[in-house]
Structure 1
Amino acid sequence: MSVEAPRLRLDKWLWQARFFKTRSLAARVVAAGHVRVNAQKVHKPAGTIRPGDVLTFTQGRAVRVVKVVALGDRRGPAPEAQTLYEDLTPVKETGPKNPAYEGKGRPTGKDRRMLGSFRSGPLE
């Protein structure tokens, strides 16, 4: 006899891993078809997952990609929830968009003049 790998409901795991505040919210997102398990769209919150599966879903305006490392027993504190998954979400570079202004807070008059010259090009 072979022992089958443990499984857990998708909505319950998303809630235990603290990606969604309530289990019903996680179920709604899954039912709307916004979650993929191993690149396959899932429409049933009762769909099961196991360690090694890769989940892709939207959270707010960001797309999250996580690999299931473990199945939880309960919805514990955040440090415990972070041990349930490995985050594979690509990191976006957040650098200054304009070299004339480095994001030091509210721009001064001099900063605004430099921004204007950067946008319109050098004055000749």
Structure 2
Amino acid sequence: MDKMRLDKWLWAARFYKTRSLAAEEVGKGRVQVNGQSVKPAKDIAVGDLIALSKETPAQQVRVVALSQVRGPAPAARLLYEETPESLAAREQAAEMRRLAPEPAWDQKAGRPTKRDRRLLSRLTG
């Protein structure tokens, strides 16, 4: 087996829970093979570079092996290797999320009271 359908490989590699979800994402253009938008039936081979826009930033993986069956997660992890650039971008994004301030901290006083709303409406006219 030297080639297989893209949607089937994405399902076997556990990027998507079902083949129909994988095919839908490929059809929407969220998956690229070697820098090109493709259809779900595109044949992929070992060595192809796949870009997945499933999360931010996009994940880039290189196909290492092909499998017709969906196995356990450790076995699925052996089907691909993530590129160093993709790993660095994901680690940087995780660090930025970790260092970002909590949005709820800006709301120290809570909702404005009736008195505050009246004052605001007087100021804005």
TM superposition score normalised by structure 1: 0.69
Contact 2:8/2:68 (<8 A) preserved: no
* CA distance in structure 2 between the aligned counterparts of 1:23 and 1:97, rounded to whole angstroms: 36
> Quick check: 1:28 aligned with 2:24?
yes
Q: Which runs of 5+ in 2 are unaligned?
A: 109-125
Greater helix percent: which structure?
2
TM superposition score normalised by structure 2: 0.68
Identity rate, percent: 46
Residue number among 1, 5, 9 corresponding to 1:9 in the alignment: 5
Q: For residue 96 of structure 1, what is the aligned residue in structure 2?
A: 99
Question: What amino acid is aligned across from residue 41 of structure 2 in structure 1?
Answer: A
Aligned residue pair count: 97
* CA distance in structure 2 between the aligned counterparts of 1:27 and 1:8, rounded to whole angstroms: 14
Q: Find runs of 4+ consecutive structure 1 residues off by over 3 angstroms.
A: 95-98
Question: What amino acid is aligned across from residue 52 of structure 2 in structure 1?
Answer: F
Q: Secondary structure at the match of 1:21?
A: coil
Give the root-mean-square deviation of aligned CA atoms: 2.3
The change in CA–CA distance for 1:97 and 1:32 in structure 2 (over 3 A counts) is closer
Q: Which runs of 5+ in 1 are unaligned?
A: 113-124
* CA distance in structure 1 between the aligned counterparts of 2:99 and 2:7, rounded to whole angstroms: 38
